[in-house]
Structure 1
């Protein structure tokens, strides 16, 4: 159902390891390393802003999965271990940012909305040379870009990932089969643990009930299919919903809008 891809190569890893410091406070040329999906777990001393121009990208950490459909991005703080994957047809425009150059560069990973202004700033910056002119027009645009990065509104497209091995087993199964209707009671029986224990652990480790966690997983699983143009009815069925109305209600609960309103018509 899912078609995750990476662009990693030995040359990419060598290039990343060789990049000890950024040549400028912001690095992200059109053909630069930030615009590739590095699926191998890695970290670096700068923040990363991974943006999906089209398609859907996913940033994976030990504690969560972060999904960025078109006009959304994932902010990864400096030093955070992570991997980046993309779905079929995804085009990435990412930035590496010196933490000293932007307010609130720390904190946790988060999904943000790419506003029209921020989109155009990233598009323009991607054409700049790696060592752009900091004292001139290019430096002034970068200053506005950094301001907009700091102000990008958050979007609730993160899926908390539990640490307990039993819960991770359940979560991996649901990730592979989002249409699974297996109840928490059935999972508990298979794992020889009480349903009450699993329920308590889900809430403790993810902040969500099992039902709410599964619903968010299903909606995030729907995004790549919707972006590729699959019929909403087919997507609803593939993600375990018996009716269009139930799918639309769940989609609105997670994203705040309907499936038709969520994906941009003009990118």
Structure 2
């Protein structure tokens, strides 16, 4: 497959791009232009943390998750921590097997290895033999079949449409440590707590407190990727103490902030997957 090297999305990025995917090495804080593609694509952070912004909301992609953006969705990527971003485009015949909306999946050990294989030197280094077309097709099929059975993860933070909810979202994005009640926030935006509760449920499919917890975990992932420790991150994101932060973070991410920050999140995820496989074999 011929490779056409192109400038990175920003001056600080190093990129390799090819018809079926790409790889961007981004320093922390770099972001892509706002764009859309004719084909849907998967993004994976081999290192660092990615934020994927679409009109539907924001997805945070740590090292054990994969984000899917369907064709035609306007989006922007941003790196938190030095990030190795991998991209795989899906043909329509494969894209129909995954959701028609932005979503985040748990990345099994197999998904991770297939993504790394499809975006590794075989795709961009002329000195390394490329996969044959049938072999690449088989890898893509395995990838999509794995993702079609993978659980969706609560790391997509939906973007509210109602002006009052958008005002609350802006306030909490700016100050995630704000612990105001929904009634208190309602006074600032001119709506009662009952109305706001209904809007959160109807528009976003979750309670205000579920949405705020996800927002705080999003901010926590960014701070951890930028090198902040657990205690400082807990305080900055609004938890009263590190233990409550650790519990909430572990419930959503599947590993503790300390193990995540030390880079052990992928190893944790692989061990869990192995345990689950062994458990399924037991009588």
* TM-score using structure 1 length: 0.78
Structure 2: gaps (5+ residues): 1-7, 267-283
Q: Which residue pairs with 1:49 in the alignment? A: 42
Deviates more, 1:225-234 or 1:57-66: 225-234
Q: Which residue pairs with 1:140 in the alignment? A: 135
Query: Do the aligned residues in 1 keep the contact of 2:122 with 2:131 (CA within 8 Å)?
Result: no
Residue 121 of structure 1 pairs with residue 102 of structure 2: no
In structure 1, distance between residues paired with 2:173 and 2:96: 35
Change (3 A) 1:102 1:186: closer
Q: Which residue pairs with 2:276 in the alignment? A: none
Q: Which residue pairs with 1:4 in the alignment? A: none
Change (3 A) 1:63 1:30: closer
Change (3 A) 1:64 1:149: same
Q: Which residue pairs with 1:86 in the alignment? A: 79
- The structure whose RCO (Cα within 8 Å, separation 6+) is larger is 1
Q: How far does residue 177 in structure 1 lie from its aligned partner after superposition?
A: 1.3
In structure 2, distance between residues paired with 1:114 and 1:198: 34
Give the counterpart of 1:150 among 145, 167, 176. 145
Change (3 A) 1:102 1:167: closer
SS at match of 1:89: strand
Change (3 A) 1:194 1:136: closer
SS at match of 1:128: helix
Q: Which residue pairs with 1:28 in the alignment? A: 21
Q: How far does residue 238 in structure 1 lie from its aligned partner after superposition?
A: 0.8
Query: Do the aligned residues in 1 keep the contact of 2:43 with 2:68 (CA within 8 Å)?
Result: yes
CA deviation profile, 1:216-255 (whole Å, cap 9, x unmatched): 1101110122234421111101111111221122223333
Change (3 A) 1:244 1:106: closer
Change (3 A) 1:29 1:158: closer
SS at match of 1:70: coil
Matches within 5 A, 1:175-186: 175-186=173-184
Q: Which residue pairs with 1:112 in the alignment? A: 105
Q: Which residue pairs with 2:264 in the alignment? A: 265
Change (3 A) 1:37 1:122: farther
